[in-house]
Structure formats: C-alpha cells, structure tokens
C-alpha cells in the first residue's frame, strides 16, 4: 500500500533562519507531488507541484522554493524565513493514472505546523 | 489559476438538521472533488464528480456537479456530531497527459452540536 511521510510535525524557527521540510512517498512510482499551505481552519493554497524529477511548477511568488531530487521525495525550502511564512504545510501525492483511467485523488501527509518567531 | 468560492464559510447546526454547502466557479473544471479535513490532519477525499449533472451519494451525503461543470453542492441529511470538520472542494485543472493540478476552495467549517 502507498504511504506518505512528512516531517517534522511541528517546527518553531526564528525569522531569518533557513527551512527544509521533507516529504516522501512509498509504494508508488512517478507520482504527482504537491506542497500546499493552509491558514488556520481555511482552504489550501497550492505552492508547488511536480510531475517528475527536477520538474517544479511554482504557483505563488514567494520566499519559498521546492525541489524533487528523487522520484518520491519532495522538499520545501527557504533560505530566510519571514513571519508571514508561518502556517500549516501539507504535502500530497496523486497517481495520475490507475487501471487505465485517470485518477486525480490526492493523498495528504499529516502536515507540518510551522511557527516563525 | 481558476478560483473556487465556497459558501457558507462557517456553519453551526444542531444534530439532526439538514445542510447544503456550495462550491462555485466562473470557470469549467474537468472534474471536482470534495474532501473532509479534521483538525491537525490532512484532507481525505470523499468523492469525485466528473460528468455535468452527476449526482453521487455517500450514506447521508449527496454530491452534485452542475450541468456546466462550474459548480457543485454537498448536502448532508440528518447531520451528526461526527460530521463536524472542514469541507473542501477542489477543482481539477488538466494540462495534458497526467499533468494536472488541484485548486482548492477556502472551505466550509461545519460544527454539528449534539
């Protein structure tokens, strides 16, 4: 079965410090990968998505970057955190196709609660 | 990027009541999904609707996709406290092959009081 791991679960970082959040998927190959940010109790804002190794699409200009060094690894980074980077970050994957039919269901990790102080 | 508007943003009802949540866009989506999210966890898919006018039922939940594939609704019959959570709709934008992305609405935060 497929699983998604996202860590750490919570993180408190000072302003100006670097950031690295990691997400890995097991049990599938060539997944679509996504990073979302969610404000408290509200909707998800798509930050980055990737359809393959080294292929990153950015949705919102910001202080963050993403990388996909391996097929099932997706990393969210920042060189210098801002207070406005605080939030709940969610990694997700989708298979794209399964059993000959398009399957767009997204499977989410448990999220990382980032607080920038 | 296409936008999705959800209404209402917040809804607090008593157990046993019925409710409807709406998801609207000015753009057409190839399909639309509904997710439910509990505090501190990631969203979990409830249903995907693909065809204009499609209606899907999941126990007490009824999902409908608009004829023009621009809007959707979620109706819950006889709500229970276990239905409490954040309900999110997500539109699928395709860009060819297996390339697509999900655009989420801001969600409806539902509280069902016993």
Q: Into how many domains does chain B fold? A: 1
Size of interface A-B (CB pairs under 8 A): 72
Cis peptide before A46 (omega within 30 of 0): no
Residues of B near A (CB-CB distance < 8 A)? 1, 6, 31, 33, 35, 40-45, 48, 86, 88, 90, 92, 98-107, 109
For residue range B74-89, what is the model confidence (pLDDT) as tens digits? 999 999 999 999 999 9
- DSSP letters, chain A, are --EEEEE-SEEEE-TT--EEEEEEEES-SS-EEEEEEE-TTS-EEEEEEEEETTEEEESS-SS-EEEEEETTEEEEEESS--GGG-EEEEEEEE-EEETTEEE---EE---EEEEE-
Residue by residue, pLDDT tens for chain A (117 residues) are 889 999 999 999 999 999 999 999 999 888 989 999 998 767 888 899 898 898 998 887 788 999 999 999 999 999 999 999 999 999 999 886 555 556 778 899 999 999 999
For residue A109, list chain B residues with Cβ-Cβ distance below 8 A: 42
- In CATH terms, the fold of domain A3-116 is Immunoglobulin-like (2.60.40)
Contact between chains at B90 and A45 (C-beta distance less than 8 A): no
Q: Is residue B64, in this structure, part of any structural domain at all?
A: yes
Domain holding B63, by residue range, is 11-113
Residue with the larger pLDDT of the pair B7 and A1: B7
Domain with B65 in it: what CATH number?
A: 2.60.40.10
Q: Do A46 and B103 touch (CB under 8 A)?
A: yes
Mean pLDDT check: name the lowest of A3-7, A79-83, B1-5, B103-107. B1-5
């Amino acid at each position: 079965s497929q699983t998604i791991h996202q860590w750490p679960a919570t993180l408190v970082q000072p302003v100006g410090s670097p950031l690295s959040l990691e997400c890995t998927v097991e049990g599938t190959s060539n997944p679509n990968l996504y990073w979302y940010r969610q404000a408290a109790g509200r909707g998800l804002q798509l930050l980055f998505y990737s359809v393959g190794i080294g292929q990153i699409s950015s949705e919102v200009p910001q202080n963050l970057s993403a990388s996909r060094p391996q097929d099932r690894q997706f990393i969210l980074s920042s060189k210098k955190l801002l207070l406005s980077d605080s939030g709940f970050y969610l990694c997700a994957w989708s298979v794209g196709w399964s059993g000959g039919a398009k399957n767009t269901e997204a499977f989410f990790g448990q999220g990382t609660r980032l607080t920038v102080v | 990027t296409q936008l999705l508007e959800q209404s209402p943003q917040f809804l607090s009802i008593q157990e046993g009541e019925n409710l409807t949540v709406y998801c609207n866009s000015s753009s057409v989506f190839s399909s639309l999904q509904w997710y439910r999210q509990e505090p501190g966890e990631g969203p979990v898919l409830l249903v995907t609707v693909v065809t204009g006018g499609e209606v899907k039922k999941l126990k007490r939940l009824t999902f409908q996709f608009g004829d023009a594939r621009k809007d959707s609704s979620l109706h819950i019959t006889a709500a229970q406290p276990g239905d409490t959570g954040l309900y999110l709709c997500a539109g699928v934008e395709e860009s060819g092959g297996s390339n697509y992305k999900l655009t989420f609405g801001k969600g409806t935060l539902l509280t069902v009081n016993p």
